[in-house]
Amino acid sequence: MNTSIVKIEKPEDMNMILGQAHFIKTVEDLHEVMAASALTLKFGIAFCESSGPRLVRSSGNDEELIRLAEKNALEISAGHSFIILMEGGFPINVLNAIKQVQEVCGIYCATANPVEVLIAETGQGRGILGVVDGGSSAGLENEADVAERKELLRNIGYKL
């Protein structure tokens, strides 16, 4: 087995979701979830088919995001993995709906942080071992950090 790291290519503030599913219709079902979530949401989806022609299947409502999702998916090339790149919304707004898609087996990460995907490659193909989502912890939060976190969540409307 060989291991490698694939760095996800995306703008610094762009949100993404990386997951695994199990069927060719995944890309269409994920498209429906994303399109139904908000009219202002722009997204690109790419799905790595793992049998038959083993193509990267894609969809979305923004050509630039579709192409970027395709590029990242092809770099990952791990069977049945998918990547969603999004602008104008946050993963928290779509994540539960994505997890309810029948084909979705799991989510590796949902983030705007820089992401590295840890890949295992065998004679059969490639698989995702895990992800590195952002940086390592720098310490424990203090009272001022807690106050800042709570203020941020209220300012952006996630808490009252």
Residue 160 in this model has a pLDDT that exceeds 90: no
pLDDT digits (tens, 9 = 90+) for 28-82: 999 999 999 988 899 999 999 999 999 999 999 999 999 999 999 999 999 999 9
What's the pLDDT at 77? 97
Strand arrangement of the beta sheet that strand 115-121 belongs to = 2-7, 115-121, 126-133
Q: Which residues contact 111 (CB under 8 A, 6 or more apart)?
A: 15, 16, 91, 133, 134
pLDDT digits (tens, 9 = 90+) for 87-142: 999 999 999 999 999 999 999 999 999 999 999 999 999 999 999 999 999 999 99
Give me the number of domains the chain comprises. Answer: 1
Q: What CATH number is attached to the domain comprising 95?
A: 3.40.1520.10
What's the pLDDT at 156? 83
| Residue 160 within a domain | no
Mean pLDDT of the chain: 95
Q: Which range of residues forms the domain containing residue 35?
A: 2-155
| Residue 13 within a domain | yes
Query: Could you give the CA distance from residue 122 to residue 98 in angstroms, rounded to a whole number?
Result: 29
Strand arrangement of the beta sheet that strand 56-60 belongs to = 56-60, 42-48, 81-87, 15-20, 106-111
